[in-house]
Structures are given as C-alpha cells and as structure tokens.
Amino acid sequence: MGKNGRNYFRNTLLALARLDKPFIIRGRYFANPHLDYLTYTDIRPYVPAGASTNMICNHVNVMLPDLSKYIAVRPVMTSKVIDMSKEFIQAQERTNPVFMTAKTAICLMAKAELPGAEAIVSALGLENSEPLREMSDEETILGNALVVEAKYRTMCRLIEDTGFKTCVDLPCGYTPKAIHMTGRGLRFVGLDLPIVIEEVRPVMRSLGEYAERMSFGGVDATNYASLEKALQGVEGPLCITTEGMMMYFTEDEVENVIANIGRLLTKHGGCWITPDPEFLLQFVSTFRSVFGENSLGKLMLAGKTAKAQSDVANLSNSFILKPADIPGSLEKAETLLTRHRMKAEKINLGEVMPDLNIYKRLTPEQVQRFKESMQSCHYWFITLDSTKQEREEDDLAGQKQFEMQYSVESGIMQLCLVGRLDSISSPELLMAWEAEQTANTIDGIRIDCSGLEYISSAGIRLLQELQAECPQGIGFNKVCPAVKVILKQNGFTI
C-alpha cells in the first residue's frame, strides 16, 4: 500500500474509532461493548466519495496485527478481539435464551401465510418448524397462529395510521415487518438482542426491495445507551412498536424499559404502540372463542412453550393485565406509565383488526365468535403526558461503559465489573469464565462491584450458573444499594 493509501486507510479507521464502532477483521470482531457489527454500507460515509467497493472492502479485511499499525488498540476487555465463533454465539444463546421465542413467532407467521414469512423461515433454516415441536397438536398451532397474525396485521395498520415516517420495532425478532414497512415508504429501524440482529439483518436486506430504508441495531432494551446508539442519525418523530417483549421482564427491568422508551420519546417525539399489556387477555379470548371448553389445555401448552424457550418463570409483571383481576392490574399498569410521565389511549382490537388469512381455516361461527371476543381487547397507544412536568433529556455522561478485569490467584477468580451486567455484556463474562476455567481450576469467584451499576436477568442467569459451578460460590464486595437489592431478590448472599 502506498503512502497515500496508508493515510487514507488510517484516517478512515480513526473516524470509525472515534464513533466507537467495531470492525470486522477477517471474520473476527474488533468489538465495542455494544457488539454491533460493521458492514460496507456503514463504512461508506467515512471513505472518500467515489471510493470503489474494493477500497471499502480493504477496510473490513484488515488483520489485527496490521490494524495496530494504523490506530492504537486499547488493551482493555471492551476493545479486545472477540472471536465471532461458535463459542461466542453459544454464549449469547445461553445468556439470552428468550430470543428463541422470536423463532417460534416467525414459524407461526409462516403457518398463517403472512407475505414474506415463508422466505424468512427458509433463510433461517427453520423449514422443519423445529421451534413449534412442543406444540404437538395442530389446533394449538392454529390458535397461536391466529393470535400472531391478528397482532402482526393490526400493528402494521396502526403504524401506518400514525403517519410517522420512521418505525422503530423493539424487538424486531424475525418478522417481515422490515420488508412490509419499507415497501410502504417508511424507514424501518429493527432493534433486538445482538444475536437476533446478526441473523436478521442480512436476511431482511437480501429479501427486501428497499434495503436502504432499513437499519438494525443490537440492543438490550433495559440499556438506554445501547438504544441511543442504535438510533444515532435517526431523525424525526418515531413510531416505536413493542410486540411480545414486555412480559419477559422482571419488575426492575420493566421499569427500566418503560423509562428508556420515555427518554426516546422525549428526545425524538412520536408514540409507542404495544399490544403487550393485554397479551394474556388476547390469548384467553382467542382460544375460548375458537375452541370453547377445550381451550384451557391448549392455552397452558402455549404458555409452557413460551416459558421454556425464554427461561422466564412468570411471564408477568406490573405492566401486564391479569385476566383474574383486570381492574386491579389495569390500575397498576397505568400507574407505572404515569410514574414515567406517559399516558395510554386504548385502541379496541375488534374495531381496527383487518381480515385475516387464517379465517379460511375456521368455521364461519368460529370467525364470528373470534371477532366479537376481540372487542374486549385493546392495544395501547402511548405518548408523553404533556400535563405532567416537562421531562429533561437525559445526560448519559454519568453512565459507565461495561468493563471487566480479572485474574486468577490460588483458585479464586478476582473479578472487577464496571457498568451494567446485562444481555449485551454477559456473553463476554461467560466466555472469559470458560477460558479461565479451561486453563485453571477455579474454586470461587470474588467480584469487586464498586463500579457495577445494574444487573439484568441475563446477568443474574449467568451469575447463578457460575455460582453452581464453584464449590466456594461467589463473594460480592462494595455493592451499591440498587445492585444489592437485585442480588438479594435472586437469592445471593451479600
């Protein structure tokens, strides 16, 4: 490479480094804590106009030793090279099993013959409908497909009705919404756990006609910095949509996620539409109207599958209405929104639901009963409540980035954690643990928590796993009050 080529190359890498963007280095990550990945399109704005594809490709094909000739490689965990190998994918799967529920959803969408769903299923290699294996009986699959189709089609209609030009789907899972919305002229931003985004981004970009209107970001919805980063450069009011996520959160996670969505609305303007608070009512009403007295067993099977796939015991929190106590749980959910200075308008599902493909597999009586029963379910259209005190934009300067340092002395792993242990950072800790465990015998772990700000359920799942593997267990030092509560709630002794 000549002198000019080297300078141009160095300047591009520096521009990317300033953005804290990761690089792909011959199939490996040079990672930042958000574990997003870089594509040619991401690089294009930082190279001179008219640069050939070959010149751009050179940037993603640099090897690590070469990279360090051009920019300083910080020797901390957050900028180390992480092998995008099977182990890394497995670490994400183990800490975030909930992403499997999105595979079930796309298989159900294919059963409902939603446009694009079949192609996505085959691009993901799910033609055998493996995620639906637990739903052995065809009627249970039919009932679930009915719920999923009603939700997907109604949400697409509601998004368009808002007139906002940007749909932020949190979580996007593997649904064809990116293809559908960009085909209708909207910009689509798909946000989900990094493991989902790695799979879904290339699939949507190859299947959609308007890939330039799509962007995707690996996030943890409880982690505001990851959301803000994924929305960098996105202008104008947002229509944020949340289908099938809120029920998987613990109380403190749901509180965090609602606060984060409030922050995004404060910053960008727009609205948040979600069917999640009434998801149980929609399930119960659908199954009862279609299968009558036989519905209980099928419903329980559907619930069991979701719990097993997500490793979440309850599928409930203060944001979710309980069929056995609708007024009490409604009040709780509304109070939660008020606490975050938001308000919900309830949209009657029976009034806005379009006609569904699945009707052709039901009798006219079943369709009639189903439509009537949807009159008692609502999707929530949530906005900031302007009657409440004005919100200030958050200053995130005080939030610490995840960092981890460790050493092993006399069989004890001394670990220092900074920032948040959540869906994004937990796989990194799991991989470090596994590497150390292979090299040493580890009897116990001592964690310096003085810089640790938060632990989500992905972090708790991992700590419980590590605790079970160490004869001397885990000791925690210098724990802040918020983290202490979370650890104690999950059975750890401080």
Ligand X SMILES: C[S@@+](CC[C@H](N)C(=O)[O-])C[C@H]1O[C@@H](n2cnc3c(N)ncnc32)[C@H](O)[C@@H]1O
Interface with ligand X by CB under 6 A: which residues? 98-99, 101-102, 105, 171, 173, 175, 192-193, 196, 219-222, 243-245, 248, 423
Q: How far is the CB of 101 from ligand X (least distance, A)?
A: 4
Residue of 395, 434, 428 lying closest to 22 (CA atoms): 428
Taking a C-beta distance cutoff of 8 angstroms, is the pair 401, 228 a contact? no
CA distance 40 to 386: 42
Q: How far is the CB of 230 from ligand X (least distance, A)?
A: 10
Taking a C-beta distance cutoff of 8 angstroms, is the pair 223, 193 a contact? no
Q: Between 98 and 336, name the residue whose CB sits nearer to ligand X.
A: 98
Q: How far is the CB of 236 from ligand X (least distance, A)?
A: 22
Q: Between 315 and 352, name the residue whose CB sits nearer to ligand X.
A: 315
CA distance 1 to 9: 10
Q: Between 102 and 186, name the residue whose CB sits nearer to ligand X.
A: 102
Q: How far is the CB of 201 from ligand X (least distance, A)?
A: 13
Q: Between 215 and 423, name the residue whose CB sits nearer to ligand X.
A: 423
Q: Between 143 and 173, name the residue whose CB sits nearer to ligand X.
A: 173
Q: Between 120 and 374, name the residue whose CB sits nearer to ligand X.
A: 120
Taking a C-beta distance cutoff of 8 angstroms, is the pair 1, 69 a contact? no
* Integer angstrom CA distances of residue 130 from 111, 136, 248, 268: 13, 11, 22, 39
CA distance 383 to 482: 28
Per the structure block, which two tokens stand in for 487?
Answer: 């650890």
CA distance 261 to 224: 9
| Closest-approach residue to ligand X (CB) | 173
SS3 content of the chain, % helix, strand, coil (to 5): 55, 15, 30
Q: How far is the CB of 151 from ligand X (least distance, A)?
A: 7
C-alpha dihedral sign at 205, 211, 215, 221? negative
Q: How far is the CB of 193 from ligand X (least distance, A)?
A: 4
Q: How far is the CB of 222 from ligand X (least distance, A)?
A: 5
